[in-house]
Amino acid sequence: MAFRAVKGMNDILPNASGRWQRLEATFRRHADLHGFEEVRVPILEHTELFVRSIGEVTDIVEKEMYSFVHRDEALTLRPEGTAGVARALVEHKLYATAPVTRWYYLGPMFRAERPQRGRLRQFHQAGCEIFGDPGPACDAELISMIVDLLTDLGVAELEVAINSLGGPGTRARYRQALLGYLAPRAGELSDTARARLEANPLRILDSKHPRDVEVCAAAPSILDVLDAEDRAHFDGLRAALDALGTPYAVEPRLVRGLDYYTHTSFEIRSRAGELGSQNTLAGGGRYDAMVAELGGPGTPAIGFAMGLERILLALPEPAPSPRRGCFLAPMGQAATSRALGLARELRAAGVRAELDARGGSLRSLLRRADGSGARVCIVLGDAELGRGVAQVKDLELHAQEDVPLPEVVAHAAALTGSAAEAAS
RNA sequence: GUGGGUGUAGCUCAGUGGUAGAGCACUGGAUUGUGGCUCCAGGUGUCGCGGGUUCAAUUCCCGUCACUCACCCCA
């Protein structure tokens, strides 16, 4: 094998693309139902955009971005979707057009991490962003939408975790409190956690390292230092989730790795399917400061992204797809000529039609027809041509009949059920 | 980036210090034109790559690469 795909960047072959299409269609439907419209932004952005929005000392920016300089321009393959979408909002001044903007996006993201189950270097996210609504009702609606969407798809064993990171003042205050607790215990922390002590102590809270978990168990909770406004928002979120009937768990140590979150942050996880330890299906939160940071007016915002590969891993095995369309099996030169025209007519009538002109015995032709997944096989040999008919076989019902050539299209359309779809 | 596991047919895997197998898949056939089940037949492998030990390596040793799981991180 001379060439391989780049590590961590997988092909999605036709045997899987059907599942992707269903997943994407379901996401689009739910997003549309909630009033979101699709926005498509570039995969490549100026490196500085991600540094500014995601945060300089985050792992993503420090070591996971595909960055390069091209003709004096520092560019980066997007590691997440929110920054580009927020940039587009500001660049086109769309905050001035409507008080609230609801956008969704879909597409590949890139992070240079070591691949493992549920973690790729090129992976796909679908996400929604709401600009201009300070919440917390819309925060809850977003979370409930994800739960509905995943449930609709068939993902089992969902759990919702929520937390509040408070506003900027709260965050600074909590940072000090946490540092006050952790610094004296630095010796008990893991190496990575200790290294993070100065730069980003909050991140130590969601370490999975047993030592860190133990140390953090008794750490002060951010929920205890929320100010009145933060608390009102968080209480409002909980009340709205209760009103929606969406179960959740409060996790005071839920921090997440992007610096831009304020107030609400959340994660949706599952233990279902073939998910490994990477079991966060969707995550998000409020980022009230980002739009201003990118040069726009102060605009509250919230959003989430979900990992499509992970959702696919969590999904149960799909039912085998039903037989559909026609397989044309001509035998001989004259029959092939006739079949060519027939196939074109079928397609014009909205019937999926596959022509196999390779010839062979009728047995092998039928085997191929069967293997193709077609509902109907149209056999056209010298005997049929001589009588002006085609043999139309229903591969599912094991029924067959000779049909006069002019009626074959209508007959096949009826059998495959394609006519109605084509007409509507 | 750190640690563990695994690399044999298209796929899933077995196997042995003496140059390799099964199942599935694929293709063809089973009274000269009838699919799925059944039966028969058919083929491919640099045994990941490089080096070492040995009369002899797919098997043992070292290195390397790839894949994979976990940490880390996050979707």
CA–CA dist A6, A387 (Å, integer): 57
Closest nucleotide (C1' vs CA) to A369 is B35
Tokens of A42: 């570039």
Angle between helices A137-153 and A14-33 (to 10 degrees): 150
Q: Choose among A164, A165, A166, A157: nearest CA to A268.
A: A157
Q: How many CA atoms lie within 13 A of A169 on its CB side?
A: 6
Distance A3 CA to B18 C1' (A): 36
Structure confidence at residue A418 (pLDDT): 62
Does the pLDDT of residue A31 top 90, yes or no? yes
CA–CA dist A269, A279 (Å, integer): 6
Structure confidence at residue A91 (pLDDT): 96
CA–CA dist A91, A116 (Å, integer): 37
Strand, helix or coil for residue A40: coil
pLDDT in tens, A415-424: 988 644 444 4
CA–CA dist A261, A284 (Å, integer): 8
Distance A6 CA to B66 C1' (A): 12
Does the pLDDT of residue A217 top 90, yes or no? no
Most confident residue range from A59-63, A254-258, A329-333, A338-342: A338-342
Closest nucleotide (C1' vs CA) to A80 is B75
Residues 6+ apart with CB under 8 A from A248: A143, A160, A161, A162, A238, A241, A266
Does the pLDDT of residue A401 top 60, yes or no? yes
Which strand B bases fall within 7 angstroms of a protein CB? 1-3, 26-30, 33-36, 66-75
Structure confidence at residue A106 (pLDDT): 96
Q: Residue A99 in contact with residue A301, Cβ under 8 Å?
A: no
Structure confidence at residue A420 (pLDDT): 45
Categorise residue A370: left if φ over 0, alpha if ψ from -120 to 50, beta otherwise: alpha
Structure confidence at residue A2 (pLDDT): 61
Average pLDDT of the residues of chain A? 89
Closest nucleotide (C1' vs CA) to A60 is B73
What is the pTM assigned to this prediction? 0.91
Distance A54 CA to B27 C1' (A): 56
pLDDT band at A168 (very low <50, low <70, confident <90, very high): confident
Q: Residue A93 in contact with residue A109, Cβ under 8 Å?
A: no
pLDDT in tens, A262-278: 899 999 999 887 777 88
CA distances from A63 to A109, A123, A257, A280 (A): 15, 17, 13, 21
What's A181-234 look like in SS3?
HHHHHHHHCCHHHHHHHHHCHHHHHHCCCHHHHHHHHCCCCHHHCCCHHHHHHH
CA–CA dist A178, A184 (Å, integer): 11
Distance A294 CA to B5 C1' (A): 46
Q: Residue A78 in contact with residue A44, Cβ under 8 Å?
A: yes
Structure confidence at residue A423 (pLDDT): 41
Strand, helix or coil for residue A132: coil
Tokens of A80: 């997440």
Closest nucleotide (C1' vs CA) to A209 is B71
Distance A331 CA to B44 C1' (A): 30
ipTM of the complex model:
0.84
Closest nucleotide (C1' vs CA) to A8 is B67
Q: Residue A254 in contact with residue A161, Cβ under 8 Å?
A: yes
Q: Residue A254 in contact with residue A267, Cβ under 8 Å?
A: yes
The residue whose CA lies nearest the C1' of nucleotide B36 is A370
Angle between helices A47-54 and A82-91 (to 10 degrees): 110
CA–CA dist A89, A87 (Å, integer): 5
pLDDT band at A351 (very low <50, low <70, confident <90, very high): very high
Residues 6+ apart with CB under 8 A from A92: none
